[in-house]
Amino acid sequence: MNNFEFLSPTKIVFGKGTENRVGQEIKKCQAEKVLLHYGGGSIKRFGLYDRVVASLKESDIDFIELGGVKPNPRVSLVREGIKLCRERGVDFILAVGGGSVIDSAKAIGIGVPYDGDVWDFYTGKAEPQETIPVGVVLTIPAAGSEASPGSVLTNEDGWYKRAVNAEIMRPRFAILNPELTFTLPPYQTVCGASDIMAHVMERYFTPTRHVDFTDRLCESTLKTVIKNVPVVLDQPDNYDARAEIMWAGTIAHNDLLSTGRVGDWASHDIEHEISGIYDVAHGAGLAVVFPAWMKYVYRENRNKFVQFAVRVWNVDMDFEDPERTALAGIDQLKRFYKNVGLPTSLKDLGISDDRLEEMADKCTAGGTKTVGNFKRLGKQDVLNILKMAL
């Protein structure tokens, strides 16, 4: 186990009706002018917008609005939000939505006090030093951005999808009411589950040894999602199952499961090129990439994949052929994705082989860098994995 420091300062307000407390929570942050940031019309169709606005008014919170966040959020809207916040003196951002809205809000937050262009943070030209604080009302358990230090944006100029991480970007609070997820369409639900599982697996498949405690935490989180996703697909308003998934999504990405170990993150890097170009749901892309990545790298530490198969998927250990056990676990993951309605190949996403080289090139900066830690992957490796995912 490696040395580590762990601090996850985001206040979690979990449970039924908790969105009605948003005004009180912002008041505690001593905000004077709030940007209410959200996506499409779903928060208005289902009444969440009205409840949030009522809570803000009840607490005498002065606010302005910026909607229109798209999945795989765009830097163009972030730049618009930065300009608006500067002009109107905004000192707090409230994100009402899923990971895309939260990531967009975080980007606006770090962009307002910065003299340059916010995209500099996403290309590594600058590091965030300060931010306007962000609060969250979560509507989609998936990205884990409600308690993470990260944000992912897409730049329409070249369709690059890139991430930035900084501790100052963790939200001040996150309101998690599982009832808000009852109306999620099945496909959004399973894409979210895939994203949660990917965040766990990126940490689970590590080159760090002697991390059995966090291994067990990862395995329990995965098993919780695996158990409850079929329940909510059959019973969309099952509060208890929705609650399990929502809390698992937060824990999957608030860095508790990272303690003492190095994550991999190659699958995320590869998928970012897919959703950056083709604008597919991030969780859907991850369901395609992860099994292909696993089959490409599992021999790097076969025992880890045997453990994954036995502990997570209850595969019977084949003592005479451990490799067969390892591959069975990968197959079980892929079967789970397929059974809940996720794509498991690029073909399922309507993607052909004509831009694989471009994606591999972008992922590795023209072949000048490697990705991943479980096994370091160069451009040809990434291309091979994409071909396996066809």
- Digits of tens for pLDDT over the chain (390 positions)? 999 999 999 999 999 999 999 999 999 999 999 999 999 889 999 999 999 999 999 999 999 999 999 999 999 999 999 999 999 999 999 999 999 999 999 999 999 999 999 999 999 999 999 999 999 999 999 999 999 999 999 999 999 999 999 999 999 999 999 999 999 999 999 999 999 999 999 999 999 999 999 999 999 999 999 999 999 999 999 999 999 999 999 999 999 999 999 999 999 999 999 999 999 999 999 999 999 999 999 999 999 999 999 999 999 999 999 999 999 999 999 999 999 999 999 999 999 999 999 999 999 999 999 999 999 999 999 999 999 999
Q: Say what the pLDDT of residue 35 is.
A: 98
Name the residue type at position 212. Answer: D
287 neighbors 229 (Cβ within 8 angstroms): no
Q: Exposed (0-12), middle (13-18) or buried (19+): which is 48, by Cβ within 10 Å?
A: buried
Q: Which residue has the tokens 């963790």?
A: 170
Name the residue type at position 173. Answer: F
Nearest-CA neighbor of 362 among 150, 71, 119, 154?
A: 154
Q: What are the φ and ψ backbone dihedral angles of 359, each rounded to 5 degrees?
A: -65, -40
Which tokens hold the place of 120?
A: 């500099």
CA distance 237 to 377: 42
Q: Say what the pLDDT of residue 40 is.
A: 84
CA distance 378 to 360: 9
215 neighbors 312 (Cβ within 8 angstroms): no
Which tokens hold the place of 283?
A: 């969780």
CA neighbours closer than 13 Å in the CB half-sphere of residue 282? 28
CA distance 153 to 164: 9
CA distance 50 to 30: 22
CA distance 203 to 220: 13
Diameter of the chain by CA atoms? 69
98 neighbors 139 (Cβ within 8 angstroms): yes
**From residue 226, how far is each of 231, 253, 336, 341, 383 by CA, in Å?**
10, 17, 8, 13, 30
This prediction has a pTM of: 0.96
Sign of the alpha-carbon dihedral angle for 42, 111, 147, 343: positive
> What b/e sequence results for 115-151 when a residue is b if at least 16 CB atoms lie within 10 Å of its CB, and e otherwise?
eeebbbbbeeebebeebbbbbbbbbbbbbbbbbbbbb
**Distant-in-sequence, close-in-space partners of 368: CB < 8 Å, separation ≥ 6:** none
CA distance 284 to 335: 14
Q: Say what the pLDDT of residue 306 is.
A: 98
CA distance 390 to 374: 23
Q: Say what the pLDDT of residue 219 is.
A: 98
